[in-house]
Every structure is written in C-alpha cells, then in structure tokens.
Amino acid sequence: MEYLWSSVLTVIARLALFGMIDVCLSHSSNILYISAVASPSHFLWSEQLAKALAAKGHNVTLLNIYKQGSSGKNMHFLKLDGVEEGLLAEGPVDYLELHQLSPFQLLSSFADLEFSVCERALVSTALQRLRQYPISFTFQLIIHDQLAGPCLLLLLETFRHPPLVMASAASSYTSSALVFGSPVFTGFVPSQLHDMPLQMGLVDRGYNFLLTHLEVMSRQYFYNPLIDRLVQRHCENITSVSQYESSAIRAVVNSMSLLDPPEPRISQIVAVGGLHITPTRPIDVSYLGRDKGKYTKLVLVSFGSNVLISTLGDGTIQALAAVARKMPFVQFLWKTDTNKSPLGMVLPSNVLTAAWFPQNDLLGGGIVDVFVTHGGLLSVQEAIWHGVPMLGVPVYGDQYQNVRRLERLGIGRRLLLEALSAGSLQDHLHALINDERYTERARKISRMVRDAHPAPRAKAVWTIEWVMRNYQTSSELLLGVDLNGVGFIEKYTLDVLAFVLLAISCCTVALYHLSTACYRYLIYRFAMKKKME
C-alpha cells in the first residue's frame, strides 16, 4: 500500500512538473528588440529590459550596434556590424563643442547622427541575415527604441507586422506622445534642446513654442522623408517606414515623475523610470582608504558613458585636481577615459582614477557622500534611488532639465560648465558635504521612489506581455481612434478659438457702433432741446 501511494504521488508530481513546463513554453514568445541609438547608456538600459523579458522565458533578440553573442539560452545579441566602427572612424565627439551649439544646431546634429546610423545599418550583414529568416519564422512582438528613428522599422514588413511597442531610455514623454498623436503642451513643458527655466515667462514660452514645433515639423516634413528615401533605395517594396511608428500599441519610457514636468498623460505611455537599476552587490572598499580612517568623505566624479572627460577641456580637469588638493580629507573616485591620469598630470594621493567604476554598487553601498555628475538621466535616477546628493554639471540636451529638477527637489546643486572653477567647485562640494539637509532630503525621496508598486522592471515586462496577450482585441477597440489623423487646427481647437475671437470681435464692433449711435442720438436730442429753448 505504501509503495502504491508513493507511485501515485510520483506520477502526480511528474504531471504537475510537465504541466508547469508546458505552461511556461506556451507563454514564451519570440521578441525582436531594436536598439540602434548611438549611445552606450541607452544600450545598457535596453539590455536590462531585454534580460528581464528573457528571464520570463521569452526568446529575445537584441539588435544593436555594440554587442554580439548570447547570454543564457534565450537572450541573443545581434550586432549591426560596421555602425560602431564607422562612427569611431569619424573620431570622438567633441562634447565641449556640442555644449556650445544652439538648440537648432543641436537638433540638426542629432538628426545627422540618426541618418549616419541608418545609412550604415542598412548595409550591415546582421540586418541582411535578419531579413532572410525563413518565411515560417515569426516574431510575436517587436520593441523599438524610438530615439533611433524609424529606419529599422522596415523589419515590421519583413516579419508580417507583429505588434509594436516603443521603448526609450530617455524621459521622452513628449516625443512618445507625438507617436500616438497626442498634443504637446509648450506652455509648461520645456524643450529638452535648451536650458529653459522650470517656470517660463512670456518670452520663454514663445521660444519654447517655436523650438518644440520646429522639432516636430522638421521631423515630419524633412528628416522622416529623408529616412524613407534612404530605406527605399535598399528596400524597393517599402514606401514609408516613418508611418509605421504610429502603429505602436504602447510605449515604455524611462520616466520618473519627480524629474518630469507636470504634464497630462495618456494611457498608451507607461513610465518605468529606474528600470535599469539592479540590486547592489558588495564591493571591496579596502582600496579606498576609508577603513584606515584616512578619509572621512567620498566623492564620486563621473560624466557618464558618452561624455569623455578629455573633451571637456583642460580647465575642467585642472579644476577637479586643484579641488582634490584643497580637500585632503575627501577620497575622490574619478571616472576618466582610460586608467591613466588625465593630461598626464600628477594627481594628489586622494584621487583614484579608472576607466570604469561600479557606479550603481558604489551609490548603493552607502559610502558615497556626493556624486558629481553631468546630469545624465540614468545616473541621476541611480543617485535618487540610492539617496545620494548630487552636484550637476550639465553638458547638453536633457541634462539641463534633469539638473534643474534635482536642484528644485533639494537633493543637489547646479554648476554650469562655464562657471566651473576650482573655487566654485569647492564651494558647492563643501555645501553638499556639510549641509545635512541635502542628505536627509535625498534619503526621504529615495524611500518614496523605492516604495512604488509595481517596480519599474516588473511594470515594463507586464506592459509588454499585456500587448502580446491583447493585441488583437485592443486593435479592434481602438479602430478609428487614431489621433495622428487629427489635424493641427482641430487638435489644438484653433478653429473654436478663432470662432470665439471672431464672435468677441463682432460683438465689440456692434457694441461700438451701438454706443456711437446712442451717443449721437443723445447729442442730437440735447442740441434740439437747447435749440427749442
């Protein structure tokens, strides 16, 4: 009897195991993730999202410009060969020059980079190999980094138009909203192309209106048609790849409400700010010198994965070195382009330089007192998550707005590159180190951000899986509800506004004429009465 029960339980256990495997397999999908933005930090963000999907059992192919190979049995990296190599052959980006560009020049520079990436990607063997996949093979979903532009959306045609989800490592809520045809709110949402104040006056709002709509119109009427013509030269059966963007069902963006302006949100855009942040790992801090009591504070200096410290000018490097000498009680960890000392200069003993530091682990390890950053979104989010005060030195783009908001939150200070000197840098560091209010405020905000439910990564994965489960139904329900088909005049109710203004003008004119007639009548009566007397 005992043997019989043992056999029954074994059979039940095996059936349950096979059932679980079957369920897992039935829910696994083939996902193509297109991440072709020429930015290592954007790729790292995309990689974290792709790995999260792979961990759920999906087979993920990450088409990118930086990495080739596999990670686990269902995570595959497919590198667009020739793209990174071509960009590197053009030489490093001069970020000091980029910092000095006007917003219009910056917009043109971003568009040129997008076109250059597209041009090289179209002739890469990796893309040709993808397009030659067997007709029987299909991807159940395509995820596309919208900041790369519509170039590689030609793969939607190749794989018979599976559902599309947009994703972005930038807090590009406005540009994501434009994909779905939503209006933009230039009166209180500043453009990321310029260092706009958080509270804009009349002139600022006028300039912001001009910048935002110029970006939209140049994209719609110049850059997108340019990309379309380039793609047509390589794929004759495709008439327009830019039109595919509006077929997206959802967009997941690296947006954290604390760092965003107060703007109306639409349900198609899901904020998953901080998705890239991983649990901190223990690090060996013995080499920092703090275990000997030699240093009482630690400052981490990093300008991210894009900005090379050597491109910011000798003055910035010399100022950082001079401050380190004046603050011998502080240990400085300085991320440079290489493991060598910048400019070949002799640095003080309290400065450690390296081409890479485990930034997330350092910030989350409770040992960093101040984080000197360029204001890149991923770095700022990591510092907020771990409750570390910041000194922001913005260089270009959205970094200005990120730094303004951390200053408004009371968790950091802003130092413009033009004002950076040994004296100003030392003053800001002293304030951040000695004023406990910055640290207390940063820790409070950290607790609040971490308390969000669901967590950013789980939220992103659930959204993407929801699209795969409900694509057909949602497409039917949203049929005919495409805001991209609504004209500019109708979208901003300019016709109604014009009618109201016309009605007010007509009423004003009528009132004027009526008042004039009454006045003349009264004058006439007064004159007649006087004449009769």
For residues 199 and 325, membership in a common domain is answered with: no
pLDDT of amino acid 457: 94
Kindly state whether residue 376 falls inside one of the protein's structural domains: yes
DSSP assignment letter at 430: H
The two tokens of residue 55 are: 């961990």
Q: Give pTM, 2 decimals.
A: 0.87
What is the mean pLDDT of the segment spanning 469-490? 72
| pLDDT at residue 124 tops 90 | yes
Going by C-alpha positions, the residue among 366, 361, 420 that lies closest to residue 391 is 420
pLDDT of amino acid 26: 41
For residues 78 and 223, membership in a common domain is answered with: yes
What is the mean pLDDT of the segment spanning 423-451? 95
For residues 259 and 385, membership in a common domain is answered with: no
Rounded CA gap, 272 and 291, in Å? 37
pLDDT of amino acid 25: 38
CB 467 within 8 A of CB 250: yes
Stronger pLDDT, 258 or 62, i.e. the higher one: 62
Task: Residue 231: give its domain's CATH number.
Answer: 3.40.50.2000
For the stretch 71-115, pLDDT in tens is 888 999 999 999 999 988 887 777 778 888 888 898 899 899 999
CA–chain centroid gap for 188, Å, is 19
| Tokens 């060996």, residue located | 284
What is the mean pLDDT of the segment spanning 213-220? 89
Q: What is the CA radius of gyration of the chain?
A: 29
Rounded CA gap, 107 and 218, in Å? 9
Domain ranges, residue 246: 30-274+457-480
Going by C-alpha positions, the residue among 52, 98, 44, 95 that lies closest to residue 72 is 52
CB atoms closer than 10 angstroms to residue 436: 9
CB 327 within 8 A of CB 359: no
In terms of C-beta density within 10 A (0-12 exposed, 13-18 middle, 19 or more buried), how is residue 157 classed? middle
* Beta partners for residue 166, in sequence order: 144, 251
The two tokens of residue 397 are: 């783009």
| pLDDT at residue 344 tops 70 | no
pLDDT of amino acid 468: 93
pLDDT band for position 14 (cuts 50, 70, 90): very low
Kindly state whether residue 502 falls inside one of the protein's structural domains: no
DSSP-derived secondary structure for 224-266: HHHHHHHHHHH-TT-S-SGGGGGG-SEEEE---GGGS------
For residues 400 and 319, membership in a common domain is answered with: yes
pLDDT band for position 476 (cuts 50, 70, 90): low
Kindly state whether residue 4 falls inside one of the protein's structural domains: no
For residues 39 and 128, membership in a common domain is answered with: yes
pLDDT band for position 173 (cuts 50, 70, 90): confident
Alpha-carbon dihedral sign for residues 286, 291, 293, 295: positive
* Weakest-pLDDT range from 98-107, 283-292, 491-500: 283-292
pLDDT band for position 24 (cuts 50, 70, 90): very low
CB atoms closer than 10 angstroms to residue 166: 24
For residues 248 and 376, membership in a common domain is answered with: no
pLDDT of amino acid 449: 93
For residues 113 and 196, membership in a common domain is answered with: yes
- Domains held by the chain: number: 2
Kindly state whether residue 55 falls inside one of the protein's structural domains: yes
pLDDT of amino acid 62: 96
CB 254 within 8 A of CB 168: yes
DSSP assignment letter at 346: P
Going by C-alpha positions, the residue among 194, 45, 41, 38 that lies closest to residue 115 is 38
For residues 48 and 97, membership in a common domain is answered with: yes
CB atoms closer than 10 angstroms to residue 98: 17
For residues 339 and 367, membership in a common domain is answered with: yes
Mean pLDDT of the chain: 86
For residues 196 and 55, membership in a common domain is answered with: yes
CB 33 within 8 A of CB 159: no
Kindly state whether residue 472 falls inside one of the protein's structural domains: yes
For residues 244 and 303, membership in a common domain is answered with: no
pLDDT of amino acid 4: 44
Going by C-alpha positions, the residue among 183, 184, 190 that lies closest to residue 208 is 190
Q: What's the one-letter identity of residue 427?
A: D
CA–chain centroid gap for 396, Å, is 14
pLDDT of amino acid 485: 73
Kindly state whether residue 311 falls inside one of the protein's structural domains: yes
Stronger pLDDT, 18 or 469, i.e. the higher one: 469
Rounded CA gap, 256 and 381, in Å? 8
CB 357 within 8 A of CB 378: no
**Range among 99-108, 162-171, 322-331, 382-391 rated most confident:** 382-391
Going by C-alpha positions, the residue among 75, 35, 84 that lies closest to residue 51 is 75
Please give the C-alpha separations between residue 78 and each of 67, 134, 306, 463, in angstroms, as whole numbers. 7, 17, 22, 24
For residues 328 and 341, membership in a common domain is answered with: yes
Rounded CA gap, 511 and 522, in Å? 16
CB 384 within 8 A of CB 443: no
